[in-house]
Homo-oligomer: A and B are copies of this chain.
Amino acid sequence: MTTSHSDGLSRRLVLGALAAMPALPGLLGATAAEAQTEAPLPSWNDGPAKRAILDFVRDTTDPSSKEFVPPEERIAEFDQDGTLWVEHPVYTQIVYCLDHVGDLVKARPELKNRQPFKTVLSGDREAIAKLSMRDFFEIVLGTQSGMDVETFREDVRKWLTGAKHPRWDRLYTDLVYQPMIEVLNFMRANGYRTFIATGGSGGFVGEYSEKVYGIPPQQVAGTEQAFKYGYDKDHRPILTREPKLVLDNLEAGKIQNFWMIYQRRPYAAFGNSSSDDQQMLEYVKAGSGARLSVAVLHDDAKREYAYGPAQGLPNTSVGTFSQEMYDIAKKQGWIVVSMRDDWKRIFAFEQA
């Protein structure tokens, strides 16, 4: 017991003082300009979703509230694909991997006639979009294995500066949802630590998460491959990515892995997919005190996409929001965000 500690009051004073300072992303993440010069969540239309988020943050940070949560327990978790950025027509990390399948089969020609690589090499976009999550991860393990972890970092960084989404002809990192960026900043400005729990690889998402979301790579929990310790030709130690899953967020492991790595039940969780987010949202909402579970419904074909059974549309492998999850959300008191109705704008590059 040798470190000294501020009490709740001095913590709040410090947070207040920080709000009057220049931005400190990655540490507290809030930009002072946002915190001070405009009302929170400006890209959100007034409505029950926006009100629920504002009320939750007020109730859990006001020391006189019976639902006050001490700063060290303020944890908020965010799914990435379909919750923080566009996931259609196919997850961005899968696009990265598809771009590397050519190199992979050059190195290992025996894969040419093996599924799912054969489908990818056919170039048949419809068939590719119909591959299962397990097929996708087969491609991830194939294309992301065998190299040193630092070589992988460099390759991801380079790819991100060039690859563009076909619909908008913009970098993938431009296709983040502005209303959600405002939620991240608003929660951090109120003492929340923000985390990503993703079906993607932490080593992929971590290359842009701090710059794009203000979330450092250490706060990104992904589906993770094994790493092997060894030595390169100059006898320097290296870590090599291996084609073996260790932590699996693809289906229902997200909350288990989140707890394993970060040791707490979040107070707030945001997701959109029945396969990997549903248990997380249920578990968070079931905690004691005020808890916020938010599910993003993709119902805006004009400005983004509309998909999932809750939209009366058939499921694809990419993102699901089943009618069952919709019914559970209503029954358990989650907030369902309608992209069409709740969001004034979707991307920062749109006219407000």
Q: Which residue of B lies closest to A215 (CB)?
A: B3
A188-244 contacts to B, CB under 8 A, are 193, 195, 202-203, 206, 210-214, 216-221, 224-229, 236-237, 239
Question: Which of A103-111, A256-264, A316-324 interfaces with chain B?
Answer: A256-264
Known interface pairs A2-B176, A236-B286. Does A229 touch B206 (Cβ–Cβ under 8 Å)?
no
> A1-12 toward B: CB 8 Å interface, digit per residue (1/0)?
111111000110
- Contact present for B185 and A3 (CB under 8 Å): yes
Is the C-beta of A21 less than 8 angstroms from some C-beta in chain B?
yes
CB A26 to nearest CB in B, in angstroms, measures 5
Which listed residue, B23, B33, B75, B173, touches A10 by the CB 8 Å rule? B23
Is the C-beta of A24 less than 8 angstroms from some C-beta in chain B?
yes
- Contact present for B72 and A260 (CB under 8 Å): no
Q: Which residue of B lies closest to A288 (CB)?
A: B150
- Contact present for B25 and A260 (CB under 8 Å): no
CB A31 to nearest CB in B, in angstroms, measures 5
CB A240 to nearest CB in B, in angstroms, measures 10
Is the C-beta of A14 less than 8 angstroms from some C-beta in chain B?
yes
Known interface pairs A26-B72, A72-B26, A239-B255. Does A33 touch B4 (Cβ–Cβ under 8 Å)?
yes
Is the C-beta of A13 less than 8 angstroms from some C-beta in chain B?
yes
Interface size on A, residues (CB 8 A): 78
- Contact present for B10 and A31 (CB under 8 Å): no
Bound form: Cα–Cα A10–B32 in Å: 13
- Contact present for B212 and A229 (CB under 8 Å): no
CB A40 to nearest CB in B, in angstroms, measures 15
Is the C-beta of A163 less than 8 angstroms from some C-beta in chain B?
no
CB A175 to nearest CB in B, in angstroms, measures 10
Bound form: Cα–Cα A2–B181 in Å: 7
Q: Which residue of B lies closest to A285 (CB)?
A: B237
- Contact present for A22 and B6 (CB under 8 Å): yes
Which listed residue, B211, B218, B236, B259, touches A263 by the CB 8 Å rule? B218
CB A3 to nearest CB in B, in angstroms, measures 5
Bound form: Cα–Cα A315–B93 in Å: 47
Q: Which residue of B lies closest to A26 (CB)?
A: B72
CB A145 to nearest CB in B, in angstroms, measures 14
Which listed residue, B6, B13, B17, B236, touches A25 by the CB 8 Å rule? B6
Is the C-beta of A335 less than 8 angstroms from some C-beta in chain B?
no
Is the C-beta of A87 less than 8 angstroms from some C-beta in chain B?
no
Q: Which residue of B lies closest to A213 (CB)?
A: B3
Bound form: Cα–Cα A322–B237 in Å: 20
Is the C-beta of A96 less than 8 angstroms from some C-beta in chain B?
no
Residues of B within 8 A of A14 (CB): 18, 21-22, 24, 27
Interface residues of chain A, those whose CB is within 8 Å of chain B, are 1-6, 10-11, 13-14, 17-18, 21-29, 31, 33, 71-72, 75, 149-150, 171, 173-174, 176, 178, 181, 184-185, 193, 195, 202-203, 206, 210-214, 216-221, 224-229, 236-237, 239, 246-247, 252, 255-256, 259-265, 279, 282-283, 286, 348
3 interchain residue pairs of minimum CB distance: A217-B263, A206-B263, A227-B256
